[in-house]
Amino acid sequence: MIALDGTVALVTGASKGIGQAIAVALATAGADVGVNYLTDQAGAEATCEAVAATGREGQPLHADVSDPSAVQGMIQELQTHFGRLDILVNNAAIGSRHAGSFADYPFSAWQRVFAVNLDGVVHCTQAALQTMLLQETGGRIVNISSSHSLVFQRHTTPYTVAKGALNTLTQALAVEFGPQGITVNCIAAGAVSTPGWPASPQGRDAWMRRAPRARMGRAEDIADAVVFLASPQADYITGQILCVDGGYVHSVTPLP
């Protein structure tokens, strides 16, 4: 039984889907949770209600993770409310699928993908590390990457490259901050169908043909892995890229 009693977590992009499931799972294990959102305030409040139903407290926190000053303000608000920060889950991300090829992909769109999917992680992680290091009690950082950072797919190059850089950032930070008791790990998530991002029938069928587990992922699959990596039981695990993808990365044929 994983127990996170007395800890405080921050989950970015937690107003729906995978982020919402992660926030609720961490609360179920005993953590109070800061629920970051950008545009969906109602979704963030719904996440906080679900957290409250577990007996823990959720706090909605508005911030664009690509804006470093907004992130600093969010961390300060979290500290003022809860008094500490033990777990950071960098989940906020945007997609990049493009009907054309990389040859005509707009550079402004490339910059926006990196601003959220990589720079946003940097902003949140730097701010969280400053807090964790002052506390001198260690900490847990879990980044949400993608199986497509390891098995490539057409028309998603910016997203793929940003997530690949996130994998490398994870490993570099694990080496740097391990001596301070801070573990840094990454989950390479497979295809997950959520109400906010449902898989098309064609996409679902293609994934199920290729992933050995032969089913779509659920948000709870990713959330359960996060809870483990955030737990005391994972204290000797750091710098890892954990594939939670039904075996897709190890299958022979990638998605077309």
Is position 16 annotated as part of the catalytic site?
no
Collapsing DSSP states into helix, strand and coil, what is residue 122? helix
The span from the CA of 181 to the CA of 8, in Å, is 16
The span from the CA of 197 to the CA of 94, in Å, is 12
Is position 248 annotated as part of the catalytic site?
no
The span from the CA of 27 to the CA of 211, in Å, is 30
Of 66, 163, 193, 248, which residue is the catalytic one?
Answer: 163
**Distance (Å) of CA 255 to CA 80, 100, 119, 189:** 46, 17, 27, 15
Of 159, 193, 231, 248, which residue is the catalytic one?
Answer: 159
The span from the CA of 167 to the CA of 239, in Å, is 9
Is position 163 annotated as part of the catalytic site?
yes
112 membership: H or E segment, kind and range: helix 107-114
| Residue owning tokens 């470093």 | 68
Give the sheet arrangement for strand 241-244, strand by strand: 58-62, 32-37, 8-11, 87-90, 139-146, 182-189, 241-244
Of 15, 96, 146, 149, which residue is the catalytic one?
Answer: 146
The span from the CA of 232 to the CA of 28, in Å, is 15
Q: Are 74 and 98 in contact (CB under 8 A)?
A: no
Q: Which residues are catalytic?
A: 146, 159, 163
